[in-house]
């Protein structure tokens, strides 16, 4: 079984870098991919499970960073704005 050439873990998420080789125009081409894994345990089960996103390439890193930044901005700022608006409307109704 192939092993990653590098691996990092934070909490229940990890990222692995893989070295890949394939035949190309009479020679061997080497390229790297990475995978992201999220491990979790269902509440009613005593079994760890994992979800994997495989075969991501170097050019995908920037795209993922941009998407994750968008999600972070939304979750931290837009959702807070919505909650503040709801709280303000509830407080105005109490008057």
Does the global pTM surpass 0.75? no
Residue 35: burial class (beta carbons within 10 Å; 0-12, 13-18, 19+): middle
Question: In the prediction, which pLDDT does 15 show?
Answer: 93
* Top-ranked range on mean pLDDT: pick from 15-24, 42-51, 82-91: 15-24
> Using one digit for the tens of pLDDT, what is the confidence trace for 23-43?
999 999 989 999 999 999 888
pLDDT digits over 50-80, tens only? Answer: 999 888 888 899 989 998 999 889 888 877 7
pLDDT of 85 reads: 77
- Token representation of residue 86: 């709801």
Cβ 56 vs Cβ 37: under 8 Å = no
């Amino acid at each position: 079984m192939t092993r990653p050439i590098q691996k990092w873990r934070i909490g229940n998420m990890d990222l692995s870098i893989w070295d890949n080789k394939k035949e190309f125009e009479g020679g061997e081409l080497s390229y790297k991919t990475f995978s992201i894994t999220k491990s979790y345990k269902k509440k009613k089960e005593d079994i760890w499970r994992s979800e994997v996103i495989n075969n991501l390439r170097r050019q995908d890193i920037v795209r993922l960073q941009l998407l994750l930044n968008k999600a972070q901005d939304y979750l931290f700022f837009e959702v807070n704005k919505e909650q503040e608006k709801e709280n303000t409307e509830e407080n105005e109704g109490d008057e």
